[in-house]
Amino acid sequence: MRPSNFYFLAFGLLMCSNAVFAQSSKVTRARQYMKDLNYTEAIEILQPLAAKDNNPDAKIALAECYLKVSDVVNAEMMYAQVVKLPTAQPVHYLYYGQMLQRNGKCDAAKDWYAKFTESAPEDVRGQHLHKACENEQELKTKGDGIYEVATTTFNSRLDDFGPAFYKDGSREGLVFASERDKGVIVKRNHSWTGNPFLDLYFVPVKKSGSKMVYGRPEKFASDINSKYHDAIVTFSKDQQTVYFTRNNFTHGKAGKDDDGTMKLKIYSAQKGKGTTSWGNEMDLPFNSDRYSCAHPALSADGNKLYFASDMPSGYGGMDLYVAEKENGKWGAPVNLGPSVNTEGNELFPYIQNNGRLYFSSDGQLGLGGLDIYYVDEKGANQWTAPENMGGPINSKDDDFSISFNEDGTAGFFSSDRQGGAGRDDIYSFTKAAIPVQIFVYDEETKEPIENASVTSDSCNRAEYKTGKNGRVSVDMKFNTCCTFKAGKDTYEPNSKEACSKAANEKGSDLVEIPLRRQMRFLMEGVAYDQVLGTPLEMNPILNWINC
Residues 35 and 163 in one domain: no
CB distance 467 to 378 below 8 Å:
yes
| Element spanning 268, H or E | strand 264-271
* Residue 130 predicted with pLDDT over 90: yes
Find the mean pLDDT for residues 360-377.
Answer: 92
Residue 535, beta-bridge partner list = 528
Q: Among 344, 392, 382, which Cα is nearest to 123's? A: 344
Between 145 and 181, name the one with better pLDDT: 145
> CB within 8 A of 219, min separation 6: which ones?
199, 200, 201, 202, 225
What domain range includes position 459?
A: 437-519
Q: What is the pLDDT of residues 286-318, one digit of tens each?
A: 999 999 999 999 999 999 999 999 999 899 889
Most confident of 10-19, 193-202, 267-276, 393-402: 393-402
Secondary structure letter of residue 319 according to DSSP: E
Residues 356 and 233 in one domain: yes
The span from the CA of 44 to the CA of 47, in Å, is 6
* Residue 538 predicted with pLDDT over 70: no
The span from the CA of 433 to the CA of 263, in Å, is 40
Residues 263 and 366 in one domain: yes
Q: Among 28, 38, 108, which Cα is nearest to 69's? A: 38
Find the mean pLDDT for residues 375-389.
Answer: 87
* Residue 257 predicted with pLDDT over 50: no
Residues 56 and 154 in one domain: no
Q: Which CATH number fits the domain that encloses residue 88?
A: 1.25.40.10
Share of the chain above pLDDT 90, in %: 56
Residues 500 and 391 in one domain: no
Could you count the other beta carbons within 10 Å of the beta carbon of residue 501? 15
Q: Which CATH number fits the domain that encloses residue 490?
A: 2.60.40.1120
Could you count the other beta carbons within 10 Å of the beta carbon of residue 324? 14
Burial 253-280 (b: 16+ CB within 10 A, else e): eeeebeeebbbbbbbbbebeeeeeebee
Residues 94 and 129 in one domain: yes
Indicate whether 363 belongs to any domain: yes
Residues 21 and 124 in one domain: yes
Indicate whether 538 belongs to any domain: no
Length of the chain: 547
Residues 382 and 265 in one domain: yes
Residues 262 and 363 in one domain: yes
* Residue 190 predicted with pLDDT over 80: no
* Residue 254 predicted with pLDDT over 60: no
The span from the CA of 542 to the CA of 521, in Å, is 10
Number of independent structural domains in the chain: 3
Q: What is the pLDDT of residues 18-46, one digit of tens each?
A: 333 333 388 999 998 888 778 889 999 99
* Residue 194 predicted with pLDDT over 90: no
Burial 213-233 (b: 16+ CB within 10 A, else e): ebeebeebbeebbbebbbbbb
Say what the pLDDT of residue 133 is.
Answer: 93
Q: Which of 10-24, 192-206, 501-515 has the lowest mean pLDDT?
A: 10-24
CA 156 to chain centre: 24
Looking only at the bridges linking them, the beta strands covering 425-431 and 433-442 are unpaired
Q: What is the pLDDT of residues 148-168, one digit of tens each?
A: 999 999 999 989 999 999 998
Between 202 and 16, name the one with better pLDDT: 202
Q: Among 355, 349, 340, which Cα is nearest to 386's? A: 340
